Amino acid sequence: MRLGVSATLVDGTLIDGDVTIDGDSVTAVGVAGGRGHGVAVPGFVDAHINGIAGVDFMTADAGGHAHAAEALAAAGVVAYQPTLVSSPPEAYDEPLAEAAAAMSKPGGAARIVGVHLEGPFLSERWPGAHDPAHLLTPDPALADRLCNAGPVTTVTLAPELGGGLELVERLTRRGVRVSVGHSDADAATSHAAFDRGACAITHVHNAHRRWRARDPGPAGVALVRPDVWVQAIVDGVHLAPESALGTFLAAGGRFCLVTDAVEAAGMPPGRYRLADRVVHVHDGAVRLADGTLAGSVLTMDAAVRNLVSLGIGLPQAVHAAAKAPARSLGRDDLGVLRPGVAANIAVLDDELEVERTVVNGREAFAAR
């Protein structure tokens, strides 16, 4: 089939013409003829999302996962990692099982590529919106049990905690990606964590030791290491424009857009939940009752528009929303659009709004 676009973003370059798809694969780009409109770009990958459209991934059942996948496709997302926040150990079993079941079912909407455990091995000094009562010191047996209970692909942890560096190595050996976050690690400990296999920083400049001139902490280390992916929430709330732009300029191709969205994303202002915590949405921000930021209502297409509004070119912004997060998860089958690859595509209009999303060659969303 022909996608019906006027241009395609291929390896960072805009090519005039249409895209053709056969089965689940792209067969050609730059196809002449027709009166297409919109730009085809690699479909977005959200590596850190707690919920969307009234669905919280800690409590989602099969119907909730299906609804969330449809809502994500409407934002141009083709693949994502549901995030489970710090909770009592026994509370993870059901959401991990539900995520595994949803992951195993073929569908036409955005697909799960694994689960992100954000905690419970986090610093009590930087809990963010996580309930301090659920935070634990690194426990290899518990980490193994959780990873065996479901498709865990990423764990955010604080490496400075007792046993933290050893847990980084243990998780990395079993193929789990480790991200440093909710951490009070100094530069030396951050370097040690990345040397031992950690490969990312979770929502940079938020909920971790602050960057100071003589104490750069996890952010300072992540920004200068070419082997570390830098995740950022570009919603105008978590980062000032200068902070977002400066971080992008420093990280370059390692800059990864994430949403950290909660179930309130796509919903009206009001009261919602993040796992077992009550959160309040007002003026585009999600907060606990004490004012602490608690995720976001950001979508990936809005994150791309926000990055472009800072002066970043569309190819670079799309890279940050697609290829960079895919590579941060070790996936080379996502975040690309060229002949011979799986057809995972978002079509953007002149305002960078999503017109259409294709997942593995099947239409997952069409604006009508």
Query: Rounded to an integer, what distance in angstroms lies between the CA atom of residue 93 and that of residue 284?
Result: 32
| Chain centroid, CA 332 distance in Å | 16
Nearest to 93 by CA among 150, 48, 143: 150
Kindly state which CATH superfamily the domain 43-332 is placed in: Metal-dependent hydrolases (3.20.20.140)
In this prediction, residue 43 carries a pLDDT of 98
Catalytic annotation present for 283: no
In this prediction, residue 126 carries a pLDDT of 98
In this prediction, residue 325 carries a pLDDT of 98
In this prediction, residue 25 carries a pLDDT of 97
Cross-strand bridge partners of residue 285: 282
Q: The pTM is what?
A: 0.97
204 close to 258: Cβ distance less than 8 angstroms:
no
In this prediction, residue 108 carries a pLDDT of 75
Q: Quick one: tokens of 100?
A: 């595994």
Catalytic residue among 46, 235, 260, 301: 260
In this prediction, residue 331 carries a pLDDT of 97
Q: What is the pLDDT along the chain (368 residues), one digit of tens a residue?
A: 899 999 999 999 999 999 999 999 999 999 997 778 999 999 999 999 999 999 999 999 999 999 999 999 999 999 999 999 999 999 999 999 999 999 998 777 999 999 999 999 999 999 999 999 999 999 999 999 999 999 999 999 999 999 999 999 999 999 999 999 999 999 999 999 999 999 999 999 999 999 999 999 999 999 999 999 999 999 999 999 999 999 999 999 999 999 999 999 999 999 999 999 999 999 999 999 999 999 999 999 999 999 999 999 999 999 999 999 999 999 999 999 999 999 999 999 999 999 999 999 999 999 97
Query: Rounded to an integer, what distance in angstroms lies between the CA atom of residue 83 and that of residue 91?
Result: 14
